[in-house]
Amino acid sequence: MGGFSIGMTEFVMMGILPDVANSLHLTIPQAGHFISAYALGVVVGAPLLTAFGSKWPGHKVLLALMGWFMVFNTASAFTDSYTSLLVFRFLAGLPHGAFFGIGAVVAGELAEPGKEAQAIATMFTGLTVANVVGVPLGTYLGHTYGWYFAFIIVGILGLATFISIYSWMPELPPSSTDNFMEDLKVFRRPQLWLVFLLTTIGTGGFFAWYSYIAPLVTHVAGYQADIVTYAMIIAGIGMTVGNLTGAKITEKLNPLKATIIALVLMAGGLSANTFLASGKIFVLIMTFMIGFFAFCVSTPIQMMMINASVESRMLGSSLNQSAFNIGNAIGAYLAGLPIAWGYGFTSADWVGAGLAGCGIMIASVIVYTRNSKQIQTAYT
């Protein structure tokens, strides 16, 4: 439920981007700043809130994070200015990374031996299912009644998640050390920063495409605005299937190999989409495929970060959410530049393919460094 709520608020902005822009009298690239603001909140909040909260029982920390999430997502629905919405999106993003980071570690602890990847994928399934149900619903309501309805629903879902955690979350001991400075030693590990960079650049390719999916479907493929809702459902189905597939690939190979395979497929899919997006059938097929390729990487890359931060797994796991959302901000911003310069909405896909390609190069560096036994153990 927490993953569903967070997934909806993070991705629904892509679907209602034109509506927000029209309502606040902004350009689409300017409205894209709200995506970046939320991502920046995740980047700041993930390590900060996890570091301060990881010494408390997991269920209590998750309760506090979801309470914060609920308040500021609801506040986002009741603003009518660029500045205030920008601030509320930043504040709403603060608990995101810590919630997923702590949740991923808890999921692994509750799993049977050898099933950690599937447990983490199950948690992230909430996020992907949000793209099948929550995001299309929010997009439809945004188009029909007003974009603010999407955030009202997120606030209600946050409240339901808060009640569910309080009622059903089992009590677990903190997974951190007793010393804050000891936790910070995790940042000394070079393999952690390589995975951080890989997540940031590689997943930025997905967000370069997904941030502008609405104008891609309407302006390039020629669909009416109401088709965007169905495109979001198709993308969400692809993400859900890709998330579960990525977990299976990880169990059969290892996290690093699974990540490289996903990034290669993502770069190829985004490149192909620049030629196929003008076709009404092809754009929907590629919407599914790119969502599938992109979320094959979610579980293996999360496991790489957890394995690379043995001193404080919750802090490291949350840091990966920071990296993921730096990729969100970078992807949305960089893809918006050629659009603002007049190169068309398919130029965002070229930016995405380039970022995924850079991710492949970083993964190649990691493969090279696996000659070190210590680093090899951390990555695999």
Choose among 129, 152, 132: nearest CA to 142. Answer: 152
- What pTM, to 2 d.p., does this model score? 0.78
| Cα 221 from Cα 219, distance rounded (Å) | 6
Q: How far is CA 291 from CA 180, 209, 270, 285, 367, in A?
A: 38, 10, 10, 10, 26
Question: In CATH, what number does 2-379 get?
Answer: 1.20.1250.20
pLDDT (tens place) for every residue of the chain, 380 residues total: 899 999 899 888 877 888 899 989 888 878 888 888 888 888 888 888 887 776 777 778 889 999 999 999 999 999 889 999 999 999 999 999 889 888 887 777 777 877 777 888 888 888 888 878 888 888 888 888 889 999 999 999 999 999 998 898 887 776 555 566 666 677 777 788 889 999 999 999 998 998 888 889 999 998 888 788 788 889 889 999 999 999 889 888 888 999 999 999 999 999 999 999 999 999 999 999 999 999 999 889 988 887 877 767 777 778 888 888 788 778 988 998 999 898 889 999 999 999 999 999 999 888 887 655 554 454 45
Number of helices (H) and strands (E) in the chain: give both, helices first.
18, 0
> What's the CA dihedral at 39, 89, 337, 29 to 10 degrees?
150
**What would the two tokens of residue 350 be?**
């070229």
Choose among 265, 319, 348: nearest CA to 96. Answer: 319
**What would the two tokens of residue 372 be?**
């070190």
| Cα 307 from Cα 312, distance rounded (Å) | 10
Question: What is the secondary structure of 216-275 as a DSSP string?
Answer: IIIIIS---TTHHHHHHHHHHHHHHHHHHHHHHHHHHS-HHHHHHHHHHHHHHHHHHHHH
Domain ranges of the chain: 2-379
Question: Is there a contact between 152 and 77 (Cβ–Cβ < 8 Å)?
Answer: yes
| Cα 260 from Cα 352, distance rounded (Å) | 16
Choose among 104, 122, 304: nearest CA to 198. Answer: 304
